[in-house]
Structure 1
Amino acid sequence: MRNAVTALILGIALIIAAALLGSAYKYKYRSAQIVSVTGGAEVNFTSDLIVWTGSYSKKSMVLKEAYAQLKEDENKVRDYLTKQGINPKELVFSAVNIRKEFSNRYDENGRITGNEFTGYALTQTVKVQSKEIGKVEQVSRQVTELIQAGVEFNSAEPSYYYTKLADLKIDLLAKASADGRVRAETIAKNAGSKLGGLKSADMGIFQITGQYSNEEYTWGGTLNTSSREKTASITVKMEFALR
């Protein structure tokens, strides 16, 4: 009798254990039903803001004279740019940079014996920030009039920006997320399953490159400022449950 009871208890225990194991396996199997995808989107856009800088300098043995000459150049630069149609409110002149310059003295054997003061070198920059991109581009390329007027003017390459970048990023992120869901739905359908809820989503880095350029993406995100026409792109890594 005792053996029969023991056998019965063992049998019940085995049944319960098997049920628990089956349930655990079923839960593990179900929890593993996840599909991982990467959605992406890109858009071409045109910059709407240009930033251009130029610099000019004067040198003299007397600081006061060098400063006066530089101020004359500032007036020439201001007059020239406004005559070219640049809004005076878009001109920003920097503080004057003053540098003492020296040259080495040598003996008959070519050894340095000291140095002597050669004058004060003063430099100033002007920055133009405007939405009239075409006009500023043209001015940046045509500064010969200033040079002919005696201004040692150096024109830098313009930089291009987009003032509605925040809105563009939100729109691009929405498109990348939609692309990820479509990919996940396609995978689920081909696997004979249905797509469940979103489990996780990780946004990638925004990359802004020049259109049709060979610029490489970077981990911190590429931000092109040298091209007027640009391409923005983003990826989103997503995980969905399957049911």
Structure 2
Amino acid sequence: MSNTKFNIFLLVLFGAAMPAAVVLSTNLARSSFEKVKLRDQTITVKGYAERPISSDRAVFSAEIGAREKELTAAYTKLEADRAKVMAFLATKGFAGDQVQLGPVAIRTLYSRDAKGNPTNQIELHSVSQSVTIASATVKSIADAARDISTVIRDGVELSASPPQYSYTKLDDVKLQMIAEATGNARLRGEALVKNSNNRLGTLRSASQGVFQITPAFSTEISDSGVNDTSSIDKTIKATVTIEYAIE
């Protein structure tokens, strides 16, 4: 074959091969691009966990008060009223070291003149003392708080705060709930990609939301979290936000 014919043959062969090479190159590039693009795809899902808890610690506080013209008389009445309160608490199972007494506070009240200005004349002496009980026997605290009004009917000047109920094993429960919420997030992610040809990949990032501790059956929620102390039976809720790769 002459050189001229051979060159023509090469040109024809090269021309025929070019489109196929371009198609092959394009397909390879597209496949490579799709793999890179897929590797960069992620999905973000929220995980949720909830469980009931029952308070295992309670605190109840009240303040006994007495007011008399003479300070000694006010203090005498305070002592008598304190004895009534202590007797009441004993019927609820609280005595001795189980009852914490605060220091006695004394306040002097002065008379006012016709224009409402204070004078140097003492009108009354007011004395007060706090009484606090704390126990793991939550029901006994609740009963004491509910029935404390009986000493008021007996002439005791007393103001009481609502009982404060708490759960002392919160740290352990929180760790368990983060794990549960993370598992829930993965299930949600898998459900979202179930009908595609992809699958959920590795965890890319994770963030924990605030815990919500609310009264049982409450729908209360707050961006800064809720920590209910007003109820014995509560619900603790946890959320996490997870980003997964898509493979």
Output the TM-score relative to the length of structure 2.
Answer: 0.79
Q: Name the aligned partner's letter for residue 136 of structure 1.
A: I
Task: Tell me what 2:189 maps to.
Answer: 184
1:77 matched to 2:81? The reply is: no
CA distance in 1, matches of 2:98, 2:79: 19
Task: Tell me what 1:104 maps to.
Answer: 112
Q: Deviations over 1:176-197 (max 9, x none)?
A: 0000011111222222212211
Please tell me the root mean square deviation across aligned C-alpha atoms, in Å.
2.6
CA distance in 1, matches of 2:147, 2:203: 56
1:128 matched to 2:133? The reply is: yes
Q: Check whether the contact 1:86–1:136 (CA below 8 A) recurs between aligned residues.
A: no
Q: Offset at 1:220?
A: 1.6
Q: Check whether the contact 1:56–1:124 (CA below 8 A) recurs between aligned residues.
A: yes
Which deviates the most, 95-104 or 23-32? 23-32
CA shift in 2, pair 1:192/1:89, >3 Å: farther
Q: Deviations over 1:106-160 (max 9, x none)?
A: 1xxxx33543431221111111111222222222222354235432223332121
Output the TM-score relative to the length of structure 1.
Answer: 0.80
- List gaps (5 residues or longer) in structure 2: 1-21
CA distance in 2, matches of 1:47, 1:196: 40
Task: Tell me what 1:36 maps to.
Answer: 44
CA distance in 1, matches of 2:118, 2:103: 32
Partner of residue 237 from structure 1, selected from 236, 241, 247: 241
Partner of residue 199 from structure 2, selected from 178, 194, 203: 194
- List gaps (5 residues or longer) in structure 1: 1-14
Q: Check whether the contact 2:208–2:241 (CA below 8 A) recurs between aligned residues.
A: yes
Task: Tell me what 1:49 maps to.
Answer: 57
Q: Check whether the contact 1:208–1:224 (CA below 8 A) recurs between aligned residues.
A: yes
CA distance in 1, matches of 2:241, 2:141: 41
CA distance in 2, matches of 1:144, 1:195: 61
Matches within 5 A, 1:143-182: 143-182=148-187
Q: Secondary structure at the match of 1:174?
A: helix
Q: Check whether the contact 1:202–1:238 (CA below 8 A) recurs between aligned residues.
A: yes
Q: Name the aligned partner's letter for residue 231 of structure 2.
A: S
CA shift in 2, pair 1:113/1:67, >3 Å: closer
Q: Offset at 1:26?
A: 5.1
Task: Tell me what 1:8 maps to.
Answer: none
CA distance in 2, matches of 1:61, 1:193: 85
CA distance in 2, matches of 1:191, 1:87: 68
Q: Deviations over 1:174-224 (max 9, x none)?
A: 110000011111222222212211000000000011112343x12221111
Q: Name the aligned partner's letter for residue 235 of structure 1.
A: T
CA distance in 2, matches of 1:84, 1:126: 14
Q: Name the aligned partner's letter for residue 49 of structure 1.
A: R
CA distance in 2, matches of 1:149, 1:156: 19
CA distance in 2, matches of 1:102, 1:214: 49
Q: Secondary structure at the match of 1:82?
A: helix
CA distance in 1, matches of 2:34, 2:59: 62
Task: Tell me what 2:142 maps to.
Answer: 137
The alignment of Structure 1 onto Structure 2 pairs a total of residues equal to 221
Q: Check whether the contact 2:92–2:143 (CA below 8 A) recurs between aligned residues.
A: no
Higher alpha-carbon Rg = 2
